[in-house]
Amino acid sequence: MRKSSICCLMVACSMSLAACSGGQSGDVNKEGKKTVVLSVFTADPVYTQAEKKYEASHPNVDIQIKAHMKDPNASYEGEGEKYINITNTELLSGKGADIIAFDVTGLPVVKYVDKKVLVNLSDLMKQDQSFDASQYEMNILDGAKMNGGLYTLPLRFFLDRLMGDAKAIEDAGVTFDDSNWTWNDFTTVGKSLAASGNRKYATGNTPPERMLNYLFSDNYAGIVKDEKRFDTNAFSALMKQVKKMYDDQVVTNGEIAADESYFLPTMIISPEDYFVGPAMFYKQGKIYNKPRALQEQSGGSFIMNRTLGINANSDVQAEAWDFMKFLMSEEAQTLPGLQGFSINKSVNEKMFKDLENKGSVEAPTGSSVPVSKEDLEVLKQMVVDTKTTVREDLKIQSIIEEEAKAYFSGQKSEQVVAELIANRITTYLNE
């Protein structure tokens, strides 16, 4: 299953930040401007527009966008791995861009934090008297923290949820509270639905090793302690939990259509999507909170989008932070081309209000989906309650998928497989 006004730093604060970066004066180009380099995988019109707007009001700063892929028509094959290797080499050798975009899956952020090559943005927020936390969705920023600090900041985010056939669930006579349910509850509900309704599975099209990865991503912080120690017992419990879903025929690896299951995984990338998504698959669809995994906080999980970090070895940390704040501002967060919910509260509030005023949204099928004030209030609360980031690391995910197959096929015991996975992941995290 898967998947503003501009805030300027006070002079005193800038001096403080410069001191925090070791008293470095920063890179000055031949025009006498401080140069801030932003590294991105692909050329992005949003960052280009933001660069021009920021430079217009900050004539002493030159924002340079360094794109690995400059040609949108070029082949991307193998380029993601190249970008990851280049970024690794630069950052871990004390070099690289001042701001790094982390939207390429596979960048080992855990290692960057461990090696202290990224700035703790939580410290910058505390030092910056002009930073008003009340303007932002701080539950998202708190959820994005690692080792007690914020090292990667998402400008946008998606909600990770389930959509379900509300009519079929109602017809089955099964009730449940999705505000704080666990995957064990999901299994119980799934069995009841299968027994009382006209569908056999709660959901399908998911191999058990992929389901295990899905749950692991949500509960990363509960299993990988201090980003280094792997809790074998907690992971073993997760494996058993997943196996029970399949043993109880709540989930199937088999390919089934949407109308043959009660739930489907979904990623809500906009307020409109909250209404359109379920309507595309079910006559009376609904968005539900995804069950919690083990020690995961209640409130739901999110996927970070347009995520940025500041190089700890940058000579222009104060300027980099000021540009990042601009990217969080209402002016930058309303640029065309942005997807997802905004880290800026006022931008989200405007999106919600505009949607309420429209009263409906058009689905890709051409049908009109009504938007009620009551449903919008549910969505708003969903955003406020979201607390846990979905943590994805391709290397860790591949290890889990490779080794877990032997357990789910009955070839190896749960303890043996859990220890194999723990040893491999621990080695990777500490190398």
Give residue-wise pLDDT tens across range 330-349. 999 999 999 999 999 999 99
Q: Positive or negative, the Cα torsion across 294, 295, 300, 301?
A: negative
Residue-wise pLDDT for 252-302, tens only, equals: 999 999 889 999 999 999 999 999 999 999 999 999 999 987 666 677 899
- Give the range among 130-139, 144-153, 328-337, 422-431 with minimum mean pLDDT: 422-431
Tokens matching residue 365: 């099928």
The band of 195, judged by pLDDT with boundaries at 50, 70 and 90, is very high
3 state SS for 8-73: CCCHHHHHHHHHHCCCCCCCECCCCCEEEEEEEEECCHHHHHHHHHHHHHCCCEEEEEEEEECCCC
Read off the pLDDT band of 4 (50, 70, 90).
very low
Measured over the CA atoms of residue 67, residue 68, residue 73 and residue 77, the dihedral's sign is negative
* CA atoms of 31 and 157, how far apart (whole Å): 37
Element (H or E) spanning 310, and its range? strand 301-310
pLDDT at 29: 77
- Whether the per-residue pLDDT at 5 is higher than 60: the answer is no
The residue with tokens 């890709």 is 364
DSSP letter, residue 297: P
Backbone angles phi, psi at 200, to 5 degrees: -85, -35
> 156 - beta bridge partners?
305, 342
Q: Which residues have CB under 8 Å from 40's CB, separation 6+?
A: 47, 65, 66, 67, 68, 101, 103
pLDDT in tens, 348-360: 999 999 999 999 9
**pLDDT at residue 193, as a whole number:** 96
For residue 97, is pLDDT > 50? yes
How many Cα atoms are found within 13 Å in the side-chain-facing hemisphere of 37?
16
pLDDT at residue 219 in the model? 84
> Which regions of the chain carry the CATH code 3.40.190.10?
11-156+303-340, 159-300+390-430
Say which CATH topology domain 11-156+303-340 has: D-Maltodextrin-Binding Protein; domain 2 (3.40.190)
Long-range contact pairs involving 76-81 (C-beta distance under 8 Å, separation at least 24) = 79/41, 80/41, 80/104, 80/105, 80/106, 81/106
pLDDT of residue 323: 98
Q: How many CB atoms neighbour CB 79 within 10 A?
A: 15
* For residues 202-221, average pLDDT: 92
- pLDDT at residue 52 in the model: 98
Closest CA to 298 of 386, 404, 378, 426: 386
CA 268/CA 166 separation, integer angstroms: 18
Tell me what pLDDT residue 229 has: 86
For position 8, what pLDDT does the model report? 35
Question: Domain 159-300+390-430 class?
Answer: alpha beta
Q: Is the pLDDT of residue 130 over 50?
A: yes
In the chain, the amino acid numbered 297 is Q
